[in-house]
Structure formats: structure tokens, C-alpha cells
Amino acid sequence: NTGSWDITQPLTPPSYILLTMALAMKLGLAPLHFWLPEVIQGSTMTTAFIITTWQKIAPMSLIFLTMNNLSTSIFLLMGILSSLVGGWGGLNQTQTRKIMAYSSIAHLGWMATISSIMTNILIMNLLIYLIMTTSVFLSLIISKSKTIQDTTSTWTLSPTLTIIMLLSLLSLGGLPPLTGFIPKWLIMEE
């Protein structure tokens, strides 16, 4: 339409809707999230780690670049829906990979919500999410924990690893005195 491949150039509204939906599907935002928990559960711990961290950087950078042209209301709706689906979906899970998948859906919901308002909080939230998810997955990989019940035997392997895993999971959940609460607090403030 414009004779250009530059993604930041103004495009037609249907192309931005397609771009929004494609990025939402790649990230695993609700209502396009159904693939994420099943794919992560069916993969190895290392592959699940890559899907929940490294694979989120490219779509989030595209959202960062094109946010001025994307639909704010669609991102707010998908963000709220993802936060609810991720929070509720992870409650009754015993498999650590599924818990991390629903955690990813919820965190990306928070990021989608703030993406149209303040991109600097989006970047900070993404970095904190990547660091916390990396620490949880590395702890799970080291302890070979596939279920919550497996994590109970980690104390005999390494008490320090158990404490790090506990604090990382609580921080990932957004418990107030820990690091994971700060981005949520800033998003609610904005």
C-alpha cells in the first residue's frame, strides 16, 4: 500500500489489526493463549524456558515500535483478559511448566495493559519478568522438579536453592515486599 517495508510507517487499519492479532498470538495473550500451556507442558524444561523468555523479546520490541499505531482499546482488553486468565488458570495446577505458562500469560497481560500508556514501564516490567522467570526456570532445571510435589524434596538437595526458588516464585506472583510487586504497583499507579 505504501511502497515501503518500514513497519513504523502508517499502514491501513486492517494491517494493524492483523499485526496486533499476530503479536498477541505469538506472545500468548488471551484470547489467543490456548496454545501456550499445552506447548510448554509438552516440551522440555529448557525449551519451556526459551519459549517463556527469549521468544517474548521480538514481539515485545515490535509492540514497542508500533504502539503509536496499534489499537489501545484492543491491547487494554487483551491485557485485562490475559491477567484474569493467567491468574485463574494457574491456581489449580500441579505441573510447574503449566504454572509458568499461566504466569507468562498473566505477566504479558500486565505488559499489554501498560504498553499503550507508558513504554518505559513496559520495558522495566519485561526486564524484571525475564530475570524472575530465568531464576525460577534455572532453579527448576537444577532441581529437576516437574511438579510442585517434586519441589518438596529440593530442601535435601540444597536448602539455598529451595529458598531462592521460593522467593523467586513469590516474587513472580507479585507478593508486595518482593521485586515482582514493583511493576504491578507502577502499572496500577498509571
Identify which of 120, 92, 108 has the alpha carbon closest to the alpha carbon of residue 52.
108
The answer to whether 116 and 67 have CB atoms below 8 angstroms apart is: yes
The residue whose grid cell reads 497481560 is 109
CA distance readout (Å), 36 to 86, 100, 179: 11, 10, 25
Which residue segment(s) compose the domain that 172 sits in?
A: 13-189
At 20 the pLDDT is 86
DSSP at 9 = S
The answer to whether 142 and 162 have CB atoms below 8 angstroms apart is: no
124 pLDDT band, cuts 50/70/90, is very high
The answer to whether 95 and 41 have CB atoms below 8 angstroms apart is: yes
Whether the pLDDT of residue 104 is over 80: the answer is yes
At 92 the pLDDT is 87
128 pLDDT band, cuts 50/70/90, is very high
Return the amino acid letter for 57. I
Return the amino acid letter for 145. S
DSSP letter for each residue of 95-125: BHHHHHHHHHHHHHHHHHHHHTT-HHHHHHH
Tens digits of residue pLDDT in 30-84:
898 899 999 999 999 999 999 999 999 999 988 888 887 777 888 899 999 999 9
Q: What's the number of domains the chain is made of?
A: 1
Q: What is the mean pLDDT of residues 115-123?
A: 87
Q: What is the mean pLDDT of residues 144-151?
A: 85
Rounded to two decimals, the pTM is: 0.88
Strand intervals (E) in 36-151? none
Question: Percent of the chain at pLDDT above 90?
Answer: 38
